[in-house]
Amino acid sequence: MTFTKKTVSGLLSLIGAAVLLQGSASAAVVAQDVKYGYVHGYIEFYNAKISSASSGTIANNVLTGAAAGSSVTLSADWRLVETDGGYCPSCMIQVYAAWIAPAADKGASPTNLGLRSFNDMEHGNSLGEFDSGHFDWDVIAPGTAGTYFIGASSTLDFSFQSWAQGGYGFSPDQAASFQVTVGDVPEPASLALAGLGLLGLSVARRRKA
Protein backbone atom coordinates (compact mmCIF):
# COMPACT_ATOMS: atom_id res chain seq x y z
CA MET A 1 0.00 0.00 0.00
CA THR A 2 1.33 3.43 -0.90
CA PHE A 3 0.55 6.31 1.45
CA THR A 4 0.34 9.73 -0.13
CA LYS A 5 1.13 12.89 1.80
CA LYS A 6 -2.60 13.58 2.03
CA THR A 7 -3.29 10.09 3.39
CA VAL A 8 -0.61 10.37 6.09
CA SER A 9 -1.93 13.78 7.09
CA GLY A 10 -5.43 12.35 7.45
CA LEU A 11 -4.13 9.46 9.55
CA LEU A 12 -2.30 11.78 11.92
CA SER A 13 -5.41 13.91 12.29
CA LEU A 14 -7.50 10.87 13.22
CA ILE A 15 -5.01 9.66 15.81
CA GLY A 16 -4.59 13.16 17.22
CA ALA A 17 -8.34 13.56 17.56
CA ALA A 18 -8.55 10.20 19.36
CA VAL A 19 -5.94 11.20 21.93
CA LEU A 20 -7.49 14.65 22.38
CA LEU A 21 -10.93 13.19 23.01
CA GLN A 22 -9.61 10.87 25.70
CA GLY A 23 -7.52 13.63 27.26
CA SER A 24 -10.55 15.86 27.70
CA ALA A 25 -12.53 13.02 29.28
CA SER A 26 -9.93 11.79 31.77
CA ALA A 27 -7.44 14.44 32.83
CA ALA A 28 -7.18 13.82 36.57
CA VAL A 29 -5.39 11.44 38.91
CA VAL A 30 -7.86 9.46 41.04
CA ALA A 31 -6.72 8.55 44.56
CA GLN A 32 -8.37 7.30 47.74
CA ASP A 33 -6.41 9.79 49.88
CA VAL A 34 -6.35 13.39 48.57
CA LYS A 35 -5.61 16.76 50.20
CA TYR A 36 -7.41 19.89 49.00
CA GLY A 37 -6.31 23.37 49.99
CA TYR A 38 -8.41 26.09 51.60
CA VAL A 39 -7.47 29.34 53.33
CA HIS A 40 -5.06 28.54 56.23
CA GLY A 41 -5.03 24.78 55.70
CA TYR A 42 -6.45 21.78 53.90
CA ILE A 43 -9.27 19.26 53.94
CA GLU A 44 -8.30 15.65 53.36
CA PHE A 45 -10.56 12.94 51.97
CA TYR A 46 -9.29 9.44 52.72
CA ASN A 47 -10.66 5.89 52.46
CA ALA A 48 -12.70 7.18 49.52
CA LYS A 49 -14.89 4.57 47.88
CA ILE A 50 -18.06 4.21 45.88
CA SER A 51 -20.16 2.19 48.28
CA SER A 52 -23.08 1.50 45.93
CA ALA A 53 -24.37 2.22 42.43
CA SER A 54 -27.56 1.27 40.64
CA SER A 55 -25.60 0.48 37.47
CA GLY A 56 -22.03 0.03 36.25
CA THR A 57 -18.94 -1.57 37.77
CA ILE A 58 -17.29 -0.38 41.01
CA ALA A 59 -13.56 -0.59 41.66
CA ASN A 60 -12.89 1.19 44.99
CA ASN A 61 -13.48 4.90 44.21
CA VAL A 62 -14.01 4.46 40.45
CA LEU A 63 -17.33 3.66 38.76
CA THR A 64 -17.41 2.72 35.07
CA GLY A 65 -20.31 2.04 32.74
CA ALA A 66 -22.87 3.90 34.84
CA ALA A 67 -26.23 4.64 33.23
CA ALA A 68 -27.09 8.28 32.62
CA GLY A 69 -28.98 9.71 35.58
CA SER A 70 -28.37 6.64 37.75
CA SER A 71 -27.92 6.74 41.53
CA VAL A 72 -24.50 6.50 43.18
CA THR A 73 -23.38 6.62 46.83
CA LEU A 74 -19.96 8.16 47.57
CA SER A 75 -18.26 7.54 50.91
CA ALA A 76 -15.11 8.89 52.56
CA ASP A 77 -13.57 9.96 55.84
CA TRP A 78 -12.46 13.59 56.09
CA ARG A 79 -10.39 15.83 58.33
CA LEU A 80 -9.58 19.52 58.54
CA VAL A 81 -5.98 20.54 59.20
CA GLU A 82 -4.64 24.03 59.99
CA THR A 83 -1.18 24.57 58.50
CA ASP A 84 -0.15 28.24 58.61
CA GLY A 85 -1.48 29.58 61.91
CA GLY A 86 -3.48 32.29 60.15
CA TYR A 87 -6.20 33.94 62.18
CA CYS A 88 -9.31 35.66 60.84
CA PRO A 89 -11.96 35.88 63.60
CA SER A 90 -14.61 37.32 61.28
CA CYS A 91 -14.07 34.82 58.44
CA MET A 92 -16.62 32.05 57.96
CA ILE A 93 -15.40 29.09 55.92
CA GLN A 94 -17.55 26.40 54.32
CA VAL A 95 -16.06 23.14 53.03
CA TYR A 96 -17.75 20.71 50.66
CA ALA A 97 -17.53 17.48 48.74
CA ALA A 98 -18.50 18.54 45.22
CA TRP A 99 -18.72 17.57 41.56
CA ILE A 100 -15.96 19.09 39.43
CA ALA A 101 -17.02 21.00 36.28
CA PRO A 102 -18.59 20.22 33.88
CA ALA A 103 -20.47 17.50 35.81
CA ALA A 104 -23.19 19.78 37.24
CA ASP A 105 -23.85 21.32 33.82
CA LYS A 106 -24.27 17.79 32.46
CA GLY A 107 -26.95 16.89 35.00
CA ALA A 108 -25.03 15.66 38.08
CA SER A 109 -26.94 16.49 41.26
CA PRO A 110 -26.79 17.74 43.87
CA THR A 111 -23.76 19.89 42.99
CA ASN A 112 -22.20 19.53 46.44
CA LEU A 113 -22.48 18.26 49.99
CA GLY A 114 -21.80 20.75 52.78
CA LEU A 115 -19.45 19.15 55.32
CA ARG A 116 -18.42 21.84 57.81
CA SER A 117 -19.01 25.50 58.59
CA PHE A 118 -16.47 27.17 60.88
CA ASN A 119 -14.36 30.23 61.61
CA ASP A 120 -10.82 30.68 62.82
CA MET A 121 -11.98 31.41 66.38
CA GLU A 122 -12.62 27.68 66.79
CA HIS A 123 -8.92 26.83 66.69
CA GLY A 124 -7.17 30.21 66.99
CA ASN A 125 -3.50 30.03 66.03
CA SER A 126 -3.11 26.33 66.83
CA LEU A 127 -1.82 24.03 64.11
CA GLY A 128 -2.81 20.50 63.15
CA GLU A 129 -6.07 18.58 62.84
CA PHE A 130 -9.05 20.26 64.47
CA ASP A 131 -12.05 18.38 63.11
CA SER A 132 -12.90 15.16 61.28
CA GLY A 133 -15.85 13.10 60.16
CA HIS A 134 -17.33 10.74 57.60
CA PHE A 135 -19.80 11.20 54.77
CA ASP A 136 -22.09 8.96 52.72
CA TRP A 137 -23.36 11.09 49.86
CA ASP A 138 -26.18 9.97 47.54
CA VAL A 139 -25.87 11.57 44.11
CA ILE A 140 -27.30 11.33 40.61
CA ALA A 141 -24.80 10.73 37.81
CA PRO A 142 -24.68 13.15 34.85
CA GLY A 143 -27.12 12.59 32.01
CA THR A 144 -24.47 12.86 29.29
CA ALA A 145 -21.87 10.20 28.50
CA GLY A 146 -18.36 11.04 29.67
CA THR A 147 -15.92 10.75 32.56
CA TYR A 148 -16.53 12.97 35.59
CA PHE A 149 -14.77 13.64 38.90
CA ILE A 150 -15.66 14.57 42.48
CA GLY A 151 -13.33 16.50 44.77
CA ALA A 152 -13.56 19.15 47.49
CA SER A 153 -14.07 22.89 47.61
CA SER A 154 -14.47 25.76 50.06
CA THR A 155 -16.16 29.16 50.11
CA LEU A 156 -15.84 32.22 52.34
CA ASP A 157 -19.52 32.63 53.14
CA PHE A 158 -21.78 32.62 56.20
CA SER A 159 -23.75 29.62 54.91
CA PHE A 160 -23.36 26.73 52.49
CA GLN A 161 -23.68 27.65 48.83
CA SER A 162 -25.56 25.20 46.58
CA TRP A 163 -23.66 26.39 43.49
CA ALA A 164 -20.14 25.63 44.79
CA GLN A 165 -18.35 23.18 42.51
CA GLY A 166 -15.36 21.01 43.37
CA GLY A 167 -11.69 21.36 42.54
CA TYR A 168 -8.68 19.08 42.23
CA GLY A 169 -6.32 18.40 45.12
CA PHE A 170 -2.68 19.35 45.59
CA SER A 171 -1.49 16.03 47.06
CA PRO A 172 -1.40 14.12 44.79
CA ASP A 173 -1.25 16.99 42.30
CA GLN A 174 -4.42 17.45 40.24
CA ALA A 175 -6.07 14.54 42.01
CA ALA A 176 -9.76 13.78 42.55
CA SER A 177 -11.30 11.46 45.13
CA PHE A 178 -13.90 9.83 42.88
CA GLN A 179 -14.40 9.10 39.19
CA VAL A 180 -17.73 8.29 37.54
CA THR A 181 -17.86 7.27 33.89
CA VAL A 182 -21.30 7.42 32.28
CA GLY A 183 -21.69 5.09 29.30
CA ASP A 184 -18.79 3.50 27.48
CA VAL A 185 -15.92 5.94 26.85
CA PRO A 186 -13.38 4.35 24.46
CA GLU A 187 -9.69 4.30 25.29
CA PRO A 188 -7.20 6.21 23.06
CA ALA A 189 -5.88 2.99 21.52
CA SER A 190 -9.39 1.92 20.53
CA LEU A 191 -10.09 5.29 18.98
CA ALA A 192 -6.82 5.25 17.08
CA LEU A 193 -7.48 1.73 15.77
CA ALA A 194 -10.93 2.78 14.65
CA GLY A 195 -9.34 5.67 12.79
CA LEU A 196 -6.86 3.34 11.11
CA GLY A 197 -9.68 1.02 10.11
CA LEU A 198 -11.65 3.84 8.52
CA LEU A 199 -8.56 5.02 6.73
CA GLY A 200 -7.87 1.51 5.41
CA LEU A 201 -11.42 1.20 4.08
CA SER A 202 -11.12 4.55 2.38
CA VAL A 203 -7.84 3.58 0.69
CA ALA A 204 -9.25 0.21 -0.41
CA ARG A 205 -12.30 1.82 -1.97
CA ARG A 206 -10.16 4.33 -3.85
CA ARG A 207 -7.95 1.55 -5.24
CA LYS A 208 -10.99 -0.42 -6.42
CA ALA A 209 -12.30 2.71 -8.12
110 cis-preceded (ω within 30 degrees of 0)? yes
117 and 193 part of one domain: no
Domains in the chain, number:
2
70 and 139 part of one domain: yes
Residue-level pLDDT at 181: 98
Residue-level pLDDT at 11: 37
For the question of whether the overall pTM of this predicted structure is more than 0.85, the answer is no
For residue 15, give its domain range. Answer: 1-26+185-209
Number of neighbouring beta carbons within 10 Å of residue 2: 6
Summarize pLDDT for 154-168 with one digit per residue, the tens.
998 889 999 999 999
